[in-house]
Structures are given as structure tokens and as C-alpha cells.
Amino acid sequence: MKEILYIEVPTPDTFAVCHWLQQEWKPGWGEKTLTRDGVRWQYSQPQTAQDTSSELSIFVWSVQRTTYLKIFQWGKYPIKGVTSLKEKFLQAIRQKFPPQYPVPPEIDLSQQSIFDALAKDYPQTVHFFQKIPNGEYDLKRVYWWEKRWRESVKNPQQPKQVIFEGETRGQENEKNYDLIYVGGALGVIHAAVMAQKGYRVLLVERLPFGRMNREWNISRDEFQSLINLGLFTPKEFEYVIAREYIDGFSKFFDANNPTHLQAPVLHTPKVLNVAIDTNKLLALCGEKLQQAGGEIWDETEFTRADISPTEVTVELVHLPTREQKKAQGRLLMDAMGTASPIAWQLNGKHAFDSVCPTVGAVVEKGFAPAVWDSQYGDVLNSHGDISRGRQLIWELFPGAEEELTIYLFHYHQVHPDNPGSLLEMYEDFFTILPEYRRCDMNALQWGKATFGYIPGHYSTSSSDRTVAFDRLLALGDAASLQSPLIFTGFGSLVRNLERLTTLLDTALKHDLLTKENLNQIRAYQSNISVTWLFSKGMMVPTHKILQPQRINSMLNTFFGILEAEPPEVADTFIKDRTNWLTFTRLALVAARKNPALLLWIWEMAGTQDLLRWLGSYWAFSWDSGKKLVLQGWLPGVLKQSQPWLEKQYPSLWLKLLSLSYQLRLSAGK
């Protein structure tokens, strides 16, 4: 028996593929016999009663809501022309079942409910959202977010203008703030720190404050930075912990990988092992913000901002009443994430290079005890190969009591023909969850839906992305400078919060609020930037079809190397602390273990992106060299020089302070 072909047919209708194979496909010669899941194609007749003819066995099966097909050759005689047959077969099946990128229907919610509007196209999604508390509201949010994301991706050259320059549009009797934050998830953490520093802060949130469509995980040593800043006490940190488990696993499907590209489970006991109760965390940050004199306007949507040389005026609408509101401040902080129209206006078609469409839910109970032990987390897991142009990856994090937070996501190239769909992902999630973890879907008790677009930007230097305008600064997902591996703005914000708040405090004290100065305040790390090629290798380019096992092979190559290293290597890599020597050594080991890796990445990324990556690697190398030369003495000199240097040359001081942080964080710890 010899495998001739393994492909994915990108359709959930496996029956249609089988029917085409049995009834429509004409091989041109030989004899075709129908089987339950495909056909047998016999090439020649037996010469004697004891002889057997050579034949091909072609069969299909379904997993991950798509269809896979394999062809095996049987018999002792080789089949002449099998290569030609395979090529014609591939051409015929690709023509019959090309890649599809479904678009959600246009709906009018004044005429029907969101459930009625989507039931035909997304039946499983509608069925289970009806079981989720606030499910109707959240499904509207899913639809709204996807629609807004699609519009932004399809029209990057002409993004909606929401930032205007000119004279102030405010009025003298309106209250003035130092900082106006738009976006209340990551925004409230940053805002609370700045309010505690004495600044007048306004936080604007589109949702009821404290509601989030995502849960957060982190490690103790990373959260310690929030304690060091004085935002939380150790006792308060314990209060917001929902669960701390003893180990986390990463394992990728390798049944179709050759032996040398299979990998054992990677154990990372100190990575994302602390599940945060986001309701408690956000409520606590909100209390601290208000106790420090800050204000929160929730259920209020940003519409535009007018920037003058002396202030910024923000126009808002209170959604329940449709009341128009205004606020004036010294600086506008964009924390709206991927839905941010500001980010698109600042960067246009370069706003985001990639994205992780992410869906999931908090399951309060309903899994059998043998399905999962809540002392463990599933950091990264795949249970199949490429599915309809996406390598689906699971995450599972235990929460309080019997709660499990489960995510399904994939790394995705931002493309106008295929922006990435939350609704398609949810239909996958509710269909294939029992494949991932055995369960009776109707026995599960749902807590809330978790979803969003988590963006990525392929930086080649610390200045190739605009995160600021005069009197405007982006942070979190809107700035899109976080890790392409863990791919979450929360972890990046926490790791860089001291850096971001200290630099912003300096800028505000000296009124350094121009674009040039504010662009110094960013969470860029060259050791993160250089890993974007890793995420690029996890994406299937739009309109292309790859071997189904390709991405799992790449993931197993690298995670197999991490598993063979001392535990601290994987820990530092995933926590964005890798230095130049470690990264370079691991890259060389990966190339030696899997020589096809570079060819695969070139095929998926293209020549242009490979050249861009060389720029990222050069920036990483340059930062590492600067750290080697400067880190031993520059921080000490800056500390001694601060009293006079900051006073006489504040702009220079801000640049040097930013450089000091960049040296400390960009080249690894």
C-alpha cells in the first residue's frame, strides 16, 4: 500500500464530494467500483486466479467541518500513468470545489431578530447563542464587529475620516481633561495608572462598563509589574485570580507528518497559568480610576475628534438615549482595538498585516469529569490539518469552580477578498467542539461568548508604524505591536505598562504632545518583531491551497525544538524575552531539522515579505549590539543626568528614556 495523494477539499459538504467522486468523476480508463466513502479504481484485470490487479482506493472523510481525501495504491504491479491521473484528478476536483470565502448576509434588524436573520446561514451559531446569557446582544456584537472589520479591510485606501485638524469645536464651559481614553478594556488599566499619577482622566466605553468579550490569562511574574506600579496590592491580585493551574500543554496534530516532524507535548507550567476574573479586574480598575478623580462614560460611542494646537475635542453619542456629547482634553488615547477607525485612518492599508479571528465561550459546567482536569491548561492545540484555508487552533483555560474558557482561532492574512469571518468561526466552534473535547453540546451550561479580531503588524523597525498623531496616541490592539505568537494585547500591555505610563507621564509634564514625541511611546520590541515570520508561516494565503499537513509540520518542527530545550527557553520565548543568540540558535536548529522549512515559508510569505523579515532581523541584531555596548552604562548616566537634562532638554530626555526602555526590552532579558 502506498499513499498517492492527500488533499483537503474546502467544503463542509462531504456528501457532495463523495457523490461527485462516485457519479461525476470519469478517470478515462480502468474500472470504477463504488464504496461507502468513495471508489476503488482498478487499473488492470488479474492474470490468474491467484493474481490481484493493481488499483487505487479513493475515499473521503469529514473533520473540522471540512472534507479530506486520500488516494492509496494497492497491488504488486505499479500503475502506469498514475502521475498524469493524479494531476487530472486534482484539476477536476479543484475546479468543482474551489476555495470559498462566505460573506454574512445583509440584514435589517428592524424587521427581524438577529436569530431569525442568521438562522439559515449559521444554524449552530444561532442555536447555541440562544442558550448563552445575553446571547442576542452578543450575537449582534459579533455581526457588527465582522461587518465593521470587513468594511475596513475592503476599503483601506479610503478609510473613514474621524480625526480632523483645525480650530477647536468645543465650548468654554465644557470640562477639560488631561487624558480621554476611548475603549474601556485595556484602556481602563492604563487609565487607572495615569489617574493615580494625578491626571484628570475620562474613560469612554461603547459597552456597559465591565463587559468583555474575552478572558485574560497571564503568569505571576508578568502580573507583578502591575503590583510594582502600585495599581494592585498583592492581596488584590489574589482576589482577581479565578484559577491558577499547575501546567499548560501545547500539542499539534501530527498523524500526517513524517516521523521526524512529529513532536511530544510541550509543557509550559509558568505560561498563561493564571486565569484572571476579568469582571473583578475591570471593576477594580474602574474603582481605582474613579477614586483618583477619573470619570467613566459607558454605553457611549466615539464618532470624531477635532485636534487643535492646544487641545482635542471628542464628539460622542450616548447609545441608549442617542444624546450627543462632547469632551475636551490635552490628549486622546485610542484603545478601541481592531474596531478602531482611528487606527485605520492613521495607517490606511498598513493598519494591520494579519489578524486572528477568535471565537469561543466560557462553559460553566457540563463536561464529564474525565474530559479535562482543571489543574491544567491547553495553551495551543490542533486536532486536525488545514480546514478551508485555515489552521484551526484551540486554547482551553480552566476558570473558577468548573468553568472552562475555550477559544478557537487561526492566524490569517488580511485580504480584501477574505477578511476573516467570526460567524464562520463560530459555526465551526459549535460544530467541532465535540471533536476537540468529548462532550454533549446540549448538556453544556454556557456562561458567556468570547470573540474578537486580534491584530498583528509586521514591524521592521521601531518607526515603521504610526501609533500617534498630534495630541493622539494608540495603545493595545489599536497600536498592534504585540506578540505574534501569543497574539494578545493584554500580555503586551502588562509587560510594557511601566514603559508606556512613564514615557507618557514625561510627555504630559513637558507638554510634548506632537506626533514626533508621542511616537516615542510604543510597546515595540525588536525581539517580537523578528518572530512575525513565524506567524506568517501559520497562514494560508488567500486563493492558494497548501498541503493539509503543512502548517502542523511547521508548528511541530519548532515546538519539538522548544520541548527538547531547558524549560526556561520556551518560557522566555513565549513571554517575549528571547535574546538574539537564543533566537538565532533556535532558527538554525529548525532549518537543520526541517530543511524544507525555508522553502515552505518562502512559498507562503513570498519574496517581498522575506526581504522585509531580513529588515526585522537586522533591527533585532542592531538593538542587541546597542544593548551590549550601552546597557552597562547608559541607564546609570541617565539617572544621574535626569535632574538637569529633563529640565533643560525635555524632548531629548524623552527620546533617551525611550531608548533605554527599548534596549532593556527589545533585545531580551
Q: Which fold has domain 118-153+354-456?
A: D-Amino Acid Oxidase; Chain A, domain 2 (3.30.9)
pLDDT at residue number 210: 82
Mean pLDDT of 73-90: 83
Residue 173 predicted with pLDDT over 70:
no
Instruction: Identify the band that residue 171 occupies on the pLDDT scale cut at 50, 70 and 90.
Output: low
Share of the chain above pLDDT 70, in %: 93
Q: Which is higher by pLDDT, 214 or 109?
A: 109
pLDDT at residue number 667: 58
Residue 45 CB burial class (10 angstroms; 0-12, 13-18, ≥19) = exposed
CATH class of 2-96: alpha beta
Question: What mean pLDDT, rounded, does the chain reach?
Answer: 89
Q: Are strands 300-307 and 2-9 parallel, antiparallel or unpaired?
A: unpaired
Instruction: Identify the band that residue 495 occupies on the pLDDT scale cut at 50, 70 and 90.
Output: confident
pLDDT at residue number 484: 47
Mean pLDDT of 481-487: 49
Instruction: Identify the band that residue 578 occupies on the pLDDT scale cut at 50, 70 and 90.
Output: confident
Judged by phi (left if over 0) then psi (alpha if -120 to 50, else beta), residue 180 lies in: beta
pLDDT at residue number 463: 66
361 forms beta bridges with 406, 449
Question: What is 104-162 written as a DSSP string?
Answer: PPP--TTTS-HHHHHTTT-HHHHHHHTTSTTHHHHHHHHHHHHHHHHHHHH-TTSPPP-
Q: Which is higher by pLDDT, 28 or 447?
A: 447
Phi, psi of 314, rounded to the nearest 5 degrees: -110, 130
pLDDT at residue number 333: 95
Residues 422, 206: Cα–Cα separation, whole Å: 20
pLDDT at residue number 353: 76
Least-confidence region, from 163-177, 223-237, 614-628: 163-177
- Reduce the DSSP state of residue 212 to 3 states and report it: coil
pLDDT at residue number 477: 72
Mean pLDDT of 48-60: 73
Pair 60, 38: CB distance under 8 Å: yes
- What confidence tens digit (pLDDT) does each residue in 349-370 have? 666 778 899 999 999 999 998 8
Could you state, in order of their start, the residue ranges of all structural domains in the chain?
Answer: 2-96, 118-153+354-456
Residues 453, 455: Cα–Cα separation, whole Å: 6
Mean pLDDT of 471-494: 69
- What confidence tens digit (pLDDT) does each residue in 259-280 have? 989 999 999 999 999 999 999 9
Residue 663 predicted with pLDDT over 90:
no
Instruction: Identify the band that residue 425 occupies on the pLDDT scale cut at 50, 70 and 90.
Output: very high
Residue 486 predicted with pLDDT over 50:
no
Question: How distant is the alpha carbon of residue 206 from its chain centre?
Answer: 22
Instruction: Identify the band that residue 488 occupies on the pLDDT scale cut at 50, 70 and 90.
Output: low
Question: What is 365-417 written as a DSSP string?
Answer: E-S-TTT--TTEEEEEE-SSS-BTTB--EEEEEE-STT-EEEEEE--EE-BTT
pLDDT at residue number 119: 97
pLDDT at residue number 157: 64
- What confidence tens digit (pLDDT) does each residue in 304-336 have? 999 999 999 999 999 999 999 999 999 999 998
pLDDT at residue number 388: 96
pLDDT at residue number 168: 59
Which helix (H) or strand (E) segment holds residue 642: the answer is: helix 634-648
Q: Which of 19, 158, 20 is nearest to 89 (CA)?
A: 20
pLDDT at residue number 48: 47
pLDDT at residue number 487: 45
Q: Which of 354, 409, 346 is nearest to 153 (CA)?
A: 354
Do 118-153+354-456 and 2-96 have the same topology in CATH? Answer: no
pLDDT at residue number 121: 97
Residue 46 predicted with pLDDT over 80:
no
Question: What is 241-304 written as a DSSP string?
Answer: EEEE-SEEEEE---TTS-GGG---PEE-TTSS-EEE-HHHHHHHHHHHHHHTT-EEE-SEEEEE
pLDDT at residue number 44: 59
364 forms beta bridges with none
Amino acid type, 432:
I
Task: Supply 658's cell numbers.
Answer: 525611550
